[in-house]
Amino acid sequence: MATKRILVVEDEEDIRDLICHHLTKEGFQPQGVSDAETALVEVRRKKPDAILLDLMLPDMQGNELCRILKGSEWSAMIPIVMVTAKGEEIDRLLGFEMGADDYVTKPFSVRELVARLRAVLRRTREIPVSAELAPYKGHSLSMDFSSYEVRVRGKPVNLSLIEFRLLKHFVTHPHCVYSRSQLLDLIWGKDTTVMPRTVDVHIQKLRARIEENPGNPTMILTVRGAGYKFQPDPAGRAL
């Protein structure tokens, strides 16, 4: 198995060196950078397998860098773990809203950081059956599971890996109702420490990307008191 490349974006040199040292001991190939501009250059130069991203950077907020990366076709699928001293719920929710895959607050144990990183990398592995699934084609929504291509009304839409996996699960299980807890286990994994409200944030983001009227969705529906379900759009083929 190839060594996983991890980009560590942290402006405090001591912390950056400490993280890189322990990642190397754990069998990763870390690269440390101190600012957002350098991070963007390095991601374009050689795409990492994951990014550990500090929230407070000298040239740009980590949340903004996360939003840029998750909104770009060339980097949307790279998992991002936010590493920050801001641990309030509103800060974590904002990070998840920008597309972060997990959130670790300072001070943290290196063991916890590595465990969370490994969990995120496990969730990003391709599910073998994906290549065997025929593309989903609906009236307005289409998905190619092998190429990760999503189109809405004929136009390509960039989704983060979590968003893609969430939509894929809905599309391949139409009409089934899933609670927040079930979706957390299925999409984020049973070892996750992600808050249940994170599911709501990602549902809102998905609706904004695929629904014609996100305020009155017709595909990803809320079942009051139970959870969410996917209603195939007209001409949609249930898999």
Tell me the CATH number at 190: 1.10.10.10
CB atoms within 10 A of CB 131: 10
CA angle 189, 190, 196 (to 5 degrees): 80
| CATH (domain of 12) | 3.40.50.2300
Classify residue 41: in a domain, yes or no.
Answer: yes
Give the whole-angstrom CA distance, residue 179 versus residue 4.
Answer: 33
Tokens linked to 103: 């959130």
pLDDT of residue 93: 66
Query: Which residues span the domain enclosing 65?
Result: 5-124
pLDDT of residue 238: 40
Q: What average pLDDT does this structure show over 96-101?
A: 77
Q: C-alpha 193: how far from its chain's center?
A: 14
Q: What average pLDDT does this structure show over 13-30?
A: 94
106 vs 81 pLDDT, higher one: 81
Where is the domain boundary, 58, 91, 124? Answer: 124
In three-state secondary structure terms, 125 is coil
Q: Which of 31, 9, 33, 30 is nearest to 84 (CA)?
A: 9
Classify residue 237: in a domain, yes or no.
Answer: no
Q: How many independent structural domains does the chain possess?
A: 2
pLDDT of residue 155: 92
Q: Are residues 219 and 112 in the same domain?
A: no
Where is the domain boundary, 72, 91, 124? Answer: 124
Q: Which of 97, 102, 123 is nearest to 113 (CA)?
A: 102
Tokens linked to 158: 């960039």
Q: 110-157, pLDDT tens digit by residue?
A: 888 898 898 888 876 644 444 467 888 888 999 998 888 899 999 999
Tokens linked to 188: 């984020």
Where is the domain boundary, 80, 100, 124? Answer: 124
pLDDT of residue 166: 92
Q: 190-212, pLDDT tens digit by residue?
A: 666 667 788 898 899 899 999 99
Q: What average pLDDT does this structure show over 177-188?
A: 87
- Name the average pLDDT for the chain: 85
Q: What average pLDDT does this structure show over 103-111?
A: 83
Q: Are residues 89 and 139 in the same domain?
A: no
Q: How confident is the model at residue 234 (pLDDT cuts 50, 70, 90)?
A: low
Give the whole-angstrom CA distance, residue 125 versus residue 192.
Answer: 16
In this structure, are residues 52 and 117 in contact, taking their beta carbons and an 8 Å threshold? yes
pLDDT of residue 130: 47
* Percent of the chain predicted with pLDDT > 70: 87
Lowest mean pLDDT, pick from 10-19, 88-97, 214-223: 88-97
Q: Are residues 97 and 42 in the same domain?
A: yes
